[in-house]
Amino acid sequence: MACEPILQQLRTLRLWRRLRSDAPMDSLDQSSFATAASQPLLPVGRLLRRAAWLVGTLDPGLLLVLSGAALLAAMTLLPAAQQTVEAERARDQALAARQAWMERLAALSEQLDLLTSADRDAALALVMEQLRLAPVGTRPLRAAAVWEAPAASRAEEVAVAAAPRSPGPLETPSLLAQLARHERSRLVVMALALACVFAGLLPPATAGGGKGPDTERRTAPLRRWAARAWGTRRRGRSTAAVRRVDLTGARRRRALAILRSAP
């Protein structure tokens, strides 16, 4: 084989590293040297053949099934996750408004306590502040525009500061989020995903158009690609594992057809 010189150099390099790391040269006898030299490297070719067989046995329809299932899950779960995020935001806003109303109620309770107390000066100051009234013969120290402004009503809505918002699943700038945001595009993607799943679950196609002994030979592009990529046809070997798996049934049927047609 063309890779034999490379493998021999690798064995020599491995043996030299072992001699340098384990013991000096004079402490090794001939038997240990021969054993170390004859010990093979990692079975790279065997691993490559197994990888080629694994890739060849994979059904291409599995990729369609997985991609379709992923799209269906995304189109179903993303709107639900967005609704959950919006519900959490509404809950946080309601809790913040409740906290603001509780604080305002506490302030009004303090003012009521001042009005009912015996401190006349504190009650007069509160009346002047809330009702914009002053005793006869007195003058407010504030400006006229500020003093003439209407007082705050108790029924006024409480201004609640907006809480920091984190972007939801459908608010991210991605193509999948844009497709799932609109109802029509979401239905179209779900229909395409169902078509992918259905196409992946179909049985493999057959070669020969349904005629002849090669009818049951299944066309697997990944298997042919693996056979060409990893060089499954080698010298001294008639067929490789991938080709043997593909053609065993076809050869058996061809032999049976020949025996039946013989007189």
Please report whether residue 246 resides in a domain.
yes
Higher pLDDT, 173 or 146: 173
The reported pLDDT for the residue numbered 215 is: 40
The reported pLDDT for the residue numbered 60 is: 74
Is residue 223 helix, strand or coil? helix
Task: Tell me if 204 sits within 8 A of 218, measured CB to CB.
Answer: yes
Range(s) of the domain holding residue 126 = 62-201
Q: Are residues 99 and 185 in the same domain?
A: yes
Q: Are residues 191 and 115 in the same domain?
A: yes
Higher pLDDT, 127 or 214: 127
The widest CA-to-CA distance across the chain, in whole angstroms, is 138
Structure tokens that stand for 187 in this block: 């239905």
Q: Are residues 131 and 252 in the same domain?
A: no
How many structural domains comprise the chain?
A: 2
Q: How far apart are CA 21 and CA 195, in angstroms?
A: 61
Note if the pTM is more than 0.75: no
* Cα R_g (the chain), whole angstroms: 42
Model confidence band, residue 17 (pLDDT cutoffs 50, 70, 90): low
Please report whether residue 31 resides in a domain.
no
Q: Are residues 112 and 233 in the same domain?
A: no
Q: Is residue 101 scored above 60 in pLDDT?
A: yes
The reported pLDDT for the residue numbered 72 is: 92
